[in-house]
Structure 1
Amino acid sequence: MTFSPSLRPWLLAAPLLGLAFGACQSGGTSASNQPDLLTANLDTTVRPGDDFYSYANGTWFKQHPIPASESNWGIGKEVQNEIYARLRKLNEEAAGAKATPGSVQQKIGDFWAAGMDSTGINKQGVAPLKAELARIQAMQSLADVQAAIAHLQTMGVNALIGPYVGQDAKNSEKMALQLWQSGLGLPNRDYYFNKDARTKNIRQEYSNHLVKMFTLLGQDAATAQASAGRVVQLETKLAASSRKLEALRDPYANYNKMAVSGLDKLTPGVSWKPWLAQMELGRADTVIVGQPEFYREAGRLLTSAPLDDWKAYLQWQLVHAFAPTLSQDFDNENFRFYGTILQGAKQQRPRWKRVLDAEENAMGEALGQLFVKEYFTPETKARYEKLTENVVASFRDHINALDWMSDSTKQKALVKLAKITRKVGYPDKWKDYSSLQIDRSSYAQNVMRANLWAYRYNINKLGKPVDRTEWGMTPQTYNAYYNPSNNEIVLPAAIFAIPGLMDANADDAIIYGYAGASTIGHELTHGFDDEGSQFDDKGNLRNWWTKKDRQLFQQRVNGIVRQFNDYTVLDSLHINGKATAGENIADLGGIVIALDAFKKTEQYKKGEKIGGLTPLQRYFLGYALGWQTTQRDERLAQAILTDVHSPAQFRINGPFADVPEFYEAFGVKPGDKLYRPDSARVKIW
């Protein structure tokens, strides 16, 4: 979307300044009037060879305890806090302006005003859901259940199935209908079956939570207890047919293409063509099913589970989806379970931050346009595009130097690397929100309409050419990604921000470690990790390796799986080396590739110390700055079961233990806890 000239004065009224972006400098000097950021963070009571994570960031952790409202805290949250403050001012100004109806300013202002009107929200109670709850309660047949599920899907409710439109993994030029396992109220299948005390307690608390939510919906104690039991029983059956975290990372096993008529055979008694039509997907003729066994069980339950089970389940999924937008009693109970029990947060975050989060989900690119106008200049974008070029060049050198890969596979790897699209900072074109209706009458209804807009935005891609210019993250997102179907890396503006460090004070060592390794090199390596390496240069799921090269690659992958399987995180919980393999490969690859790019800089060649630290030491500390984050035990336990990323401590200590230059920089020797003999060190890219 392009903003009209009449809105520009408002957009520039609160420029998004204050956060600094690190810039690549030829000299690599630090301003004398500012304490060195890396030195200030160090905890020198910790030996770097024993726990580099704590050595690099320990003092910062002591000075920045996790706030009561958070389950984790770190550099990303510090970046987000700065963004929140600027966006809050923009929202408050929009809410007070006499904006043109239908304009971006009007929508932002009204969304904010409705979300911040806690008095009005409390008066409405559950009223925004009354019509939907009545529709569910009126169900009398399987056809009614399917119709209700279809309607809830368009509202963004996680009701039983997971339809979406995305690129066909084996034909990246085509947008295809996909079905993924879905429908659970707990984070994933393991929560329904694991027998450790922590997970058992969560299951009991989940049942208690369901009872309380049904009570808030007006059910008496006995009915609420029965409804909760129905939900748990139904979800447990769905969980039993759901795949584990590591199994979801196999692109071939999760690709099962069939005609829509094949779904009827997969789920006897369930007619899919009219059902898809109710979801505005009637034009689909083929579908890619991720987990057929899940849909087989979902179909069986649709035709066999009592109608009252479906009423309870769909009422629950509806109220769960919109609880944060309802009155305080629903909001607080939702937070008690999902915020405190699951993640350990002690209190709710301020309402204004939660409204900004909802607004980000509703129309994030509208906010993104405001963000980049003053916050990420074309000059800054050019700097990071150049840094990306340097890291790509280093990756090219690494591929050429591999001693385990044949020349024929190397040539194909080099072609794929050369064709990776690099999206840096922000998109060249923006989403058009003109059809999205936002007003001040109901916060929940605004979110519902935004969900419907997003649903239709996605499904309208079916049968249309792939838009390879589209971004899957907003510029103000502190994150990045690699998309195998587009063979692209996407690096939002916010991921380059370093709180408290101005451009002029950021030396190359920090930037190559912080941005070059943990972001750019990391995402590039995802194109060549155990999953991304199965996609070719055009983004298609197709083998381009020789059989021997693939075997040699897998041997190296197995090494990093074993390494991370051995790490104990909490009590008896271990990292799942297979589930986290892709991220661990990308971390290690990013570190060694960006390191060799850094070695070509003047700062590295001169070898001058800054803050008493050598350029090589500053590089590793710059990388560790990117994982300057800590989390509560509850959040950590959840991450082990649900996250394909290793905890922050092991994203530093794990890969560093495989890098020879780390041993050189910090004098790591046998007897140190991170020491690994040469024969045990993993080397892939």
Structure 2
Amino acid sequence: MIPTKPKPSLLLKTALGGALALTLAACAEQAGDSASSKPDMEKAEASNTPELGTFGIETADMKPEVDPGDDFFEYVNGKWLDTFEIPAERSSYSSFTALFERSEERIRKIIEEAAETDAPAGSVEQKIGDYYAAFMDTDAIEAAGLAPIQDELGLYRSAESHEDVALLMVKPDLGTRTPFGVGVSIDAKQPDRYSVYIGQSGLSMPDREYYLDEKFADKADAYKEYLVTILSAAGTENAEQAAADVFAFEMAIAEIHWTRAERRDRDKTYNKYTLAELEEMASGFPWQMMMSDLGIADQDYFVVSTPSAIEGAAEVFANTPVETLQNYMVASAVRSYASVLPKEIDDAVFAFFSTELSGVPEQRPRWKRGVSAVGGALGEAVGEVYVERYFPPESKAQMEELVANLRVAFSQRLDELDWMGEETKAEAQAKLEAFTPKIGYPDKWTDYSALEVSADSPVANIRENRIFNHEDSFSQLGQPIDKDEWFMTPQTVNAYYSSTRNEIVFPAAILQAPFFDPNADLAVNYGGIGAVIGHEIGHGFDDQGRKSDGTGALRDWWTEEDKARFQEKADALGAQYATYEPVEGYPLIPNLTMGENIGDLGGMAMAYAAYKLATEGQDVPVIDGFTGDQRFFMAWAQVWKGLYREEALKRQISTGPHSPGMFRVNGIVRNMDAWYDAFEVTEDDDLYLPEDERVAIW
């Protein structure tokens, strides 16, 4: 069994969860929240030496006294795990975080340069500089108090009916949460058109379990106290009773929500309703009125991802007193503006949502939060400068070659599969052939000319950004698919696969060590970014991605026999992950992490096959005592090096689609025969699995 000891101390208003819209599968959780502003990458390029160690692995982080067959993650990263302290401003720290911080420093320089220039009004530089300046002017924010949002709070408090509340909830510039989300995305069954998607929403805590599961009772109690604090600060009379009523409303919504695992099922989350059918199914919401206000009542149908939850939310909404709904909107709106409200409010929001829920002791420095705010509003404008300065053309060329090699290797593996029939193989090959890779940055940048930004009002800037995003998204209805659109900025340290577009996307910022280093050993690049490329390709063939064909259409192209064989293998992998318990009482949830686990396993298999093709006929050297195969697997372990605070780890296990890094390493390599050979793993080792228990899918 894998050692599971944790390291101590270690649109409208919301996304619609896994069902909505983009159907994206990302490589990792976003780092979101110190590197030198002079990037190490530039030094490495100048000297032609790897950024990490002598061949691309930071061997100083290793713990050689650990048997790799007992705990491979610890063997490669153990010294770092024992000595690294998670910064006080963070809930976790990983390779992604380190690159995020590097990116953050670079973006700060770009933003501050824009702020210092006397840019023409309406220019991108003016908007970047003014957005940042408004966010950073804490003296003005403190002096203004809640005045900048009193107009909005007044709208909520003046609502006299459920219809009034519903119309406020769909106003794109307002900050309230809603019991449902409405957004525009490519239609999963007709990927040549955009459709309106509707799905469950409305909870302030991370997920339904935080309301319903007894092990989160302390979080629920803390949330009630938080509501009292926020509603009191907003001037709500009898704040304690108001908070209790708001919590009861959210609890009722939580009870009818689908679980995250249920929302992963793409067959169950595609349900077409006409507006009339929607009104009949969920009559507690004034759908005709709301959709007319949004200008989308003329749609021939809407895709509802969680029908029973929408039906239940409509009933809860209709049976909840208007005063409770007013207070719900007030509380959620105050939270949405917290970063640009007085410190008392900002600190209260941080104390619950970051400290209580994720164990983060300290707020991030203001400048870092400002960088994130600008990135959220004007991400591609910043990204265009980022690419010019920090993304060398040769990195893109090398990535294109790696992607091509991975595709060749996977195509060969498909042909050799003994469990898949020829009919399904032909469809799989057609899908692989249709894959579109996007590397570094978009061919067409977002036009921000319609976005209004002022240096005087950060609240107004947030509202203007909401309107800009809403109009940008909803204007796609009835238009051809924008094939140049990206859903991550170039400075984002991540990657994703989109099933409706059948594309894999690798932003510039992830193409750095430890993932990719043009000066590193070939084995290290294949075990790092090569496996990430394979992971994203693998999402097209995981338990949900496999349901789309090469055009992106949600279509069953598998024979019944092949589906059964695939599911048998997926279940076997899930059974392994169900035995892993990083924190007592918090086992991994295989139905939640299945897609990512399959992506990891398939990605590593593809990357290893591609590495062997790339070195075929070559005399691969031993470097610092490590063979090429050893270096390949060590690179994968180095990529997932990381630590969690305990509360953050519990949250990740309960709500995240990714297994913690330790299990992305140990849980995968123990299923690969080549790893056993590379490190001479035997049945006496803790990670050993008999050959007939090892899972190989792709």
TM more than 0.5:
yes
> In structure 2, what is the equivalent of residue 296 of structure 1?
311
Query: What letter matches 2:581 in structure 1?
Result: T
State the distance in 1 between where 2:149 and 2:43 align: 47
Query: Which residue of the partner structure matches residue 379 of structure 1?
Result: 394
1:245 is aligned to 2:266? no
1:255 to 1:95, Cα distance in 2 relative to 1, 3 A = same
Contact residue 46 and residue 54 of structure 1 kept, 8 A: yes
User: Which of 208, 215, 219 pairs up with 2:236?
Assistant: 219
Q: How many angstroms does 1:377 deviate by?
A: 2.3
Q: Give the C-alpha shift of residue 133 in structure 1.
A: 0.2
Q: Secondary structure at the match of 1:462?
A: coil
Alignment map for 1:299-448 (pairs within 5 Å): 299-448=314-463
Are 2:529 and 1:515 aligned? Answer: yes
Residue 67 of structure 1 and its aligned partner are, at CA, apart by: 0.4
In the other structure, the counterpart of 1:4 is: none
User: Mean alpha-carbon deviation: is it higher for 565-574 or for 33-42?
Assistant: 33-42
Q: What pairs with 1:168-317 in structure 2 (closer than 5 Å)?
A: 168-196=187-215, 199-219=216-236, 223-317=238-332
1:92 aligned partner, one-letter code: E
Letter in 1 for 2:263: L
| Kept after mapping to 2: 8 A contact 1:16/1:375 | no
Answer yes or no: is the 8 Å Cα contact 1:41–1:58 preserved in 2. Answer: yes
The separation in 2 between residues aligned to 1:171 and 1:500, in whole angstroms, is 35
Deviation at residue 301 of structure 1 after TM alignment = 2.5
Distance 1:36 1:521, change over 3 A: closer
Q: What SS does the corresponding residue of 2:438 show, helix, strand or coil? A: strand
Alpha-carbon deviations, 1:76-119, whole Å to 9, x = none?
Answer: 11111111112112222211211010001000100111111111
User: 5 Å matches for 1:566-577?
Assistant: 566-577=579-590
What is the distance in 1 between the residues matched to 2:187 and 2:40? 39
Q: Which amino acid aligns with 2:144?
A: Q
495-504 or 642-651, larger mean C-alpha shift: 495-504
In the aligned structure 2, how far is the partner of 1:157 from the partner of 1:362?
18
Q: 86, 89, 97: which is aligned to 1:77?
A: 97
Cα offset for 1:598?
0.7
Query: How many Å apart are 1:258 and its aligned residue?
Result: 1.2
1:6 corresponds to which residue?
none
Which residue of structure 2 aligns with residue 8 of structure 1? Answer: none
Q: Deviations over 1:125-154 (max 9, x none)?
A: 212211110000001112211121122x44
CA distance in 1, matches of 2:377, 2:483: 22
For residues 564-590 of structure 1, what are the alpha-carbon distances to aligned partners after superposition, in whole Å with 9 as ceiling and x for unaligned?
011111012100011111100000001
Specify the alignment match of 1:558 in structure 2.
Answer: 571
Whichever residue aligns with residue 60 of structure 1, its letter is W
1:10 paired residue number: none
Which residue identity does 1:177 align to in structure 2?
V
| C-alpha distance in 2 between matches for 1:301 and 1:314 | 15
Aligned mates of 1:351, 1:392 — CA distance in 2 = 44
Stretch moving more, 416-425 or 461-470? 461-470
Correspondence 1:615 to 2:631? no
Over 3 Å counting, the alpha-carbon distance change for 1:405 and 1:434 in structure 2 is same
3-state SS in 1 of match to 2:89: coil
Q: Which moved more, 1:58-67 or 1:615-624?
A: 58-67
Corresponding residue SS for 1:342: helix
Aligned equivalents of 1:412, 1:403: Cα separation in 2: 16
Deviation at 1:16, TM superposition (A): 8.1
* C-alpha RMSD of the superposition: 2.1
Q: Deviations over 1:526-578 (max 9, x none)?
A: 00000000111111111101111111111111111111011111012100011
Q: C-alpha separation between the residues in 2 aligned to 1:635 and 1:162? A: 26
Compute the displacement of 1:51 (Å).
1.3
Q: Show the counterpart of 2:494.
A: 479
Q: What SS does the aligned partner of 1:173 have?
A: coil
Matching of residue 124 in structure 1 with residue 144 in structure 2: yes
Question: Distance in 1 between the 2:659 and 2:516 partners?
Answer: 27
Aligned to 2:653: 640
Residue matched to 1:458: 473
Question: How much does 1:378 deviate?
Answer: 2.1
Alpha carbons 1:608, 1:614 under 8 Å: kept:
yes
* One-letter amino acid of the counterpart of residue 478, structure 2: G
Q: Kindly state the Cα deviation for residue 394 of structure 1 after the two structures are TM-superposed.
A: 0.5
TM-superposed CA distance for 1:34, in Å, is 5.3
CA distance in 2, matches of 1:469, 1:21: 29
Counterpart of 1:671 in structure 2 is: 684
Amino acid at match of 2:526: Y
Amino acid in structure 1 at the alignment position of 2:72: F
Cα gap change, 1:523 to 1:131, in 2 (>3 Å) = same
CA distance in 1, matches of 2:415, 2:684: 35
Q: How far, CA to CA, are the matches of 1:436 and 1:492 in structure 2?
A: 24
Percent identity over paired residues? 36
Q: Are 1:93 and 2:113 counterparts? A: yes
CA contact (8 A) 2:51 2:513 kept: no
Q: Displacement, 1:277?
A: 2.1
Matched with 1:20 is 41
User: 1:29 deviation in Å?
Assistant: 8.6
Change (3 A) 1:565 1:412: same
Q: 1:528 to 1:31 in 2, by over 3 A?
A: closer
Match of 1:532 among 522, 540, 545: 545
Q: Distance between the aligned counterparts of 2:209 and 2:202, measured in 1?
A: 14
The alpha carbon displacement at 1:510 in A equals 0.9
Q: 1:33 to 1:265 in 2, by over 3 A?
A: closer
Q: Structure 1 residues 555 and 32 mapped into 2: Cα distance closer, same or farther (>3 Å)? A: closer
Q: 1:302, CA displacement in angstroms? A: 2.9
**In the alignment, is the contact (CA less than 8 A) between 1:20 and 1:501 conserved in 2?**
no
2:179 is the alignment partner of 1:137: no
Aligned partners of 2:103 and 2:154: how far apart in 1? 40
Does the CA-based 8 Å contact 1:395-1:593 persist in structure 2?
A: yes
Check conservation: 2:535, 2:600, Cα contact below 8 A: yes
Partner residue in 2 for 1:660:
673
Aligned to 2:16: none
Question: Map of 1:139-154 to 2, 5 A cutoff?
Answer: 139-151=159-171, 153-154=172-173
Structure 2 CA distance, aligned partners of 1:355 and 1:484?
Answer: 33
Residue 593 of structure 1 corresponds to 606
C-alpha deviations, 1:589-610, integer Å up to 9, x for none? Answer: 0111100111123499323122
Distance in 2, Cα, partners of 1:43 & 1:657: 19
Q: Secondary structure at the match of 2:192?
A: strand
SS at match of 1:37: coil
How big is each residue's C-alpha offset from its partner over 1:462-513, in whole Å with a ceiling of 9 and x where there is no partner?
1211112211111111111110101111111111211699633x11111101
CA distance in 1, matches of 2:516, 2:298: 53
Deviates more, 1:551-560 or 1:439-448: 439-448
| TM-score, scaled relative to structure 2 | 0.92
Letter in 2 for 1:18: P
- 5+ residue gaps, structure 1: 1-14
CA 1:343/1:136 → structure 2, altered by over 3 Å: closer, same or farther? Answer: same
Matched AA of 1:565: A
160, 163, 170: which one aligns with 2:179: 160
Distance in 2 (alpha carbons) for counterparts of 1:500 and 1:236: 42
Q: Matched residues in 2 for 1:36 and 1:465: separation?
A: 44
Residue by residue over 1:153-179, the C-alpha shift from the partner in whole angstroms, topping out at 9 and shown as x without a partner, is 444543222000011111111100000
Counterparts of 1:604 and 1:215, CA distance in 2: 72
Give the Cα separation in 2 of the matches to 1:501 and 1:148. Answer: 47
CA deviation map 1:165-215 (0-9, x unaligned)? 01111111110000011010111111111112xx11111111111111111
